[in-house]
Amino acid sequence: MATKDERGHRIGPAVRRAVWAALALGCALGGLSVAGGRPLADADVDAQEQAPSELIGGVRWLRDLSAARREAYDKGKPLLIVVRCPP
Amino acid sequence: MGSPDPELAQLFQRFVPVRVTDLRGFDLDTFEFDFDLTLAVLTAGPGGRVYHRFGGRDHRSADRYVTVPGLEAALRSTLARFEAEVIDAGDMDRFPPVRRIEDFPSYGPWLEARGEEPTCIHCHQVGEHEIRTANLVGESFDLDRIWRWPAPTRVGFDVDPDDQTRVVRVDEGSAAAAAGLRAGDRVASLGGVQAATFTDLQFALHRAVPGATRLPLTYERVGETAETELVLEEGWKRGDPLTFAWRPLKWGLPHGPGFGGRDIGPDRKAELGLDPDAHAFAVDYFVTWGAFGHRGRAAEGPIRRGDVVYAVDGKDDFQSQDHFHAWFRLTREEGATARIGLVRGGEKRVVELVVQR
């Protein structure tokens, strides 16, 4: 997935942002297809990133990896770690 | 925001899902992934053992292997392996040592120069700090280290994006062909890494040494399991600059041209007498800031804003501006003269640029 140029400018911002946002949240939504993902407004993404946990597609997602490891241990479940990074 | 795929949603319920959006505090060793990606998925035990990786890409496409069946296969395999494993009650007190991005020697000086705490640390900044740290301690960055997370095609085979352990192609004359692998085979493990995904195969190749080596390969063919070896020669990880071009890592490498711009369309190229299908871009910036400011200042003489660049030293088949930047950095040498083919004022000309570190 592409990247910023060396000035730090996002290349094709609308398209790229739609792609990574759709892929990242598409994981949780079960979509994973770029075409099926809705491009997110900045406010959507920012709001999601404030919460310690969030409900996406009926699944509760934690934000803290240490807490998630403890919870996984207590519940006897494996971890599903999704790393979403801006380009 | 849409309904989840029911099968995937059910699988998610059997995990503790966690979304990581900032690499600060993230254990780069335990949960290693391709830090140039913008999406990476790992499945792991609470003690830090990683079962599978997902989300990897090659130069052809960002999302070719990011498929729902691919993710489901990783999750199912994880559950099977996790359920067969006894978690030692002491595991939680024996987390492996943490190597964080904040621990790079370059991080402190970088933060100080920046003047403020960033709102987040991006994944691709791991590579930047690898290069900055090498520069900081007076070492040159070993270029072999840029050939990271090789795709299986680097050793001569490709897999089905929807069934990522199934081989769909074996290149004639490749290491995979020499090992006896055939289309239709199913890779079970490579280099000791149990495979469920394309990214698991990449990880196996990533952690192999770049020098001559042998990687054990276990595969299944018509229900039978067979073992063989990939025999890899010195430098096997190195590829064409095109395969490296997508990586943000390229921006920190030496020998950048010091300028860039915006791609122009086929009609404009035709007007200028250029091949409409070949890549060309109009210069609209010079890198005159930061540690690489000398590059832009050197380029500002021979190159002008608005010049349409289409070739360097006779190479005129760049596929993108990323390709141009990667190729320039990986093939031009400090102090050499690069002959830039461009169109200025409607006329083709060649100008000379001394390549800067």
User: Is residue B112 packed enough to be buried (19+ CB in 10 Å), middle (13-18) or exposed (0-12)?
Assistant: exposed
Contact B85, B45 (CB under 8 A): yes
Pairwise CA distance, residues A46 & A29, whole Å:
18
Q: What is the pLDDT along chain B (357 residues), one digit of tens a residue?
A: 344 567 777 888 899 988 887 888 899 998 999 999 878 899 999 888 899 999 899 998 887 888 888 888 999 999 999 998 876 555 566 566 678 999 999 999 888 888 888 777 888 899 989 888 887 666 666 778 889 999 999 999 999 999 999 999 999 999 999 999 999 999 999 999 999 999 999 999 999 999 999 999 999 999 999 999 999 999 999 999 999 999 989 988 888 999 999 999 999 999 999 999 999 999 999 999 888 899 999 999 999 999 999 999 999 999 999 999 999 999 999 999 999 999 999 999 999 999 998
- Residue A52's pLDDT is 61
Cβ of B46 and A79 within 8 Å? yes
Q: Does pTM surpass 0.80?
A: yes
Residue found by looking up tokens 């989840």 in the block: B4
What is the dihedral sign for C-alpha B123, B210, B78, B46? negative
**Each residue's pLDDT tens digit, A11-58:** 444 434 444 444 444 444 333 333 233 333 344 444 455 556 666 656
Please count the residue pairs, one from chain A and one from chain B, whose beta carbons lie less than 8 angstroms apart: 208
d(CA B171, CA B156): 5
Nearest CB among B66, B123, B247 relative to A23 is that of B66
CB-based contact A30 B5, cutoff 8 Å: yes
Q: Which residue of A has its CA nearest to B248?
A: A3
**Interchain proximity A78–B16, CB inside 8 Å:** yes
Contact B39 A69 (CB under 8 A): no
Q: Between B21, B39, B44, which is nearest A78 by CB?
A: B44
The pairing of strands A59-62 and B193-194 is: unpaired
> Chain A partners of B87 at a C-beta cutoff of 8 Å?
73, 76
Tell me the CA distances in angstroms from A2 to B3, B259, B335, one per residue in order. 27, 19, 30
In which band, very low, low, confident or very high, does the pLDDT at A7 lie, cut at 50, 70 and 90?
A: low
